[in-house]
Amino acid sequence: MGDIQQWFSSLPPMTRTWFGGTIALSLLGRFNMPSPYWLVLDYSAVVHGFQIWRLATCVFFYSVQRGFHFLINLYFLYNYSLRLETGLFARRPADYLFMLLFIWVCSLIVGLLGSMYMLMDPMVMAVLYVWCQLNKDTIVSFWFGTQFKAMYLPWVLLAFNVIMGNGGMVDLSGILIGHLYFFLTFKYPQDFGGVSLLQTPQILYHYFPNARGGESGFGRPPPAPRAGGDDAAGGGGGGGGGFFRGQGHTLR
């Protein structure tokens, strides 16, 4: 338990909150403390019943009865959120929080319009998509030793979930949300010479100031990916570490 607590405390704050909140609320819902019904996103309950807490709980709660898919989502949440927070957004917690808030708001809009009850899938896919675009030429490994560039990973996961019968629209919405953030933050200012359309509000810098040596704002080119391969189901790339690590092997 001491090792687990030390590992959990070593996580950066945004990833730690998201990861820990997801496990805690999902387990509480599993044992009906409270009932999962009070944790999911429901248009009528939010709009007509003013149950606004659902806008937040639907991000953290996920049905653990989905078993393997829940564990995979947890892994990708931990791994790619950690990579971004300790990589591109290192020492800039306000900027990373703003990215998560932007993805959350977009996911809420899609969820309310598309009758999605839990937003973990689009949130995680959007974060994964942003990392993959920032490290598009990094070689990642997937199941059965297949290797490809990181830019293709979101589409491989989309196809995999469709084949496994987990739908596809939820994952596709996450990809589109991630692309919207990436385009407005990096693509448009760098490739089209426009101004950065997304700016972190100053109030977030007040409560989450940059660490010494950090930089604020968006629109800067991402750092060059490190040499060598990366594992889509393992550690590496700007955050490193974690469970399910391997050398191109499948998740177990």
**Range list of β-strands (E), 61-157:** 139-141, 147-149
**What's the pLDDT tens digit per position in 48-68?**
999 999 999 999 999 877 778
How many structural domains are present in the chain? 1
Tokens of 79: 């791994």
**What's the pLDDT tens digit per position in 131-167?**
999 999 998 887 777 888 999 999 999 988 888 776 6
> Does residue 133 fall inside a structural domain?
yes
What's the one-letter identity of residue 50? F
What pLDDT is stored for residue 189 in this prediction?
80
What pLDDT is stored for residue 213 in this prediction?
55
Are 54 and 42 a contacting pair, CB within 8 Å? yes
Residue 8 CA from chain centroid, whole number = 18
Are 19 and 77 a contacting pair, CB within 8 Å? yes
- Tracing tokens 């692309």 back to the chain, one arrives at 179
193 φ, ψ (degrees, to nearest 5): 70, 20
pLDDT value at 6 more than 60: yes
> Does residue 245 fall inside a structural domain?
no
Cis ω for the linkage preceding 12 (within 30 of 0): no
Mean pLDDT value of segment 79-100: 95
pLDDT value at 28 more than 60: yes
> Does residue 103 fall inside a structural domain?
yes
What pLDDT is stored for residue 163 in this prediction?
84
pLDDT value at 199 more than 50: yes
What DSSP assignment string belongs to 175-244? HHHHHHHHIIIIIHHHHS----S----HHHHHHSPPPTT----S-PPPPPPPSS-EETTS--TTT---SS
Cα–Cα distance between 185 and 228 in angstroms, integer?
27
Q: Burial-class residue 51 by CB neighbours within 10 Å (0-12, 13-18, 19+).
A: middle
**What's the pLDDT tens digit per position in 200-250?**
999 999 999 998 754 444 444 444 444 344 545 443 334 333 333 333 333
Q: Which of 93, 66, 71, 102 is nearest to 196 (CA)?
A: 102
> Does residue 26 fall inside a structural domain?
no
What is this structure's pTM? 0.82
Under the banding of pLDDT at 50, 70 and 90, the label for residue 18 is very high
Q: Which of 84-93, 193-202, 231-240 has the highest mean pLDDT?
A: 84-93
> Does residue 42 fall inside a structural domain?
no
Are 81 and 18 a contacting pair, CB within 8 Å? yes
What pLDDT is stored for residue 162 in this prediction?
86
> Does residue 194 fall inside a structural domain?
yes
> Does residue 59 fall inside a structural domain?
no
Give the helix/strand (H/E) hosting 52.
none
231 φ, ψ (degrees, to nearest 5): -110, 120
What pLDDT is stored for residue 235 in this prediction?
39
- Tracing tokens 């704002």 back to the chain, one arrives at 217
Are 246 and 234 a contacting pair, CB within 8 Å? yes
Distances in Å between the alpha carbon of 193 and those of 61, 155, 169, 216? 40, 28, 32, 19
Percent of the chain's residues with pLDDT above 70:
82
What pLDDT is stored for residue 109 in this prediction?
95
Q: Give me the domain span that covers residue 115.
A: 67-231
> Does residue 16 fall inside a structural domain?
no
Under the banding of pLDDT at 50, 70 and 90, the label for residue 1 is low
**What's the pLDDT tens digit per position in 103-140?**
999 999 999 998 899 999 999 999 999 999 999 999 88
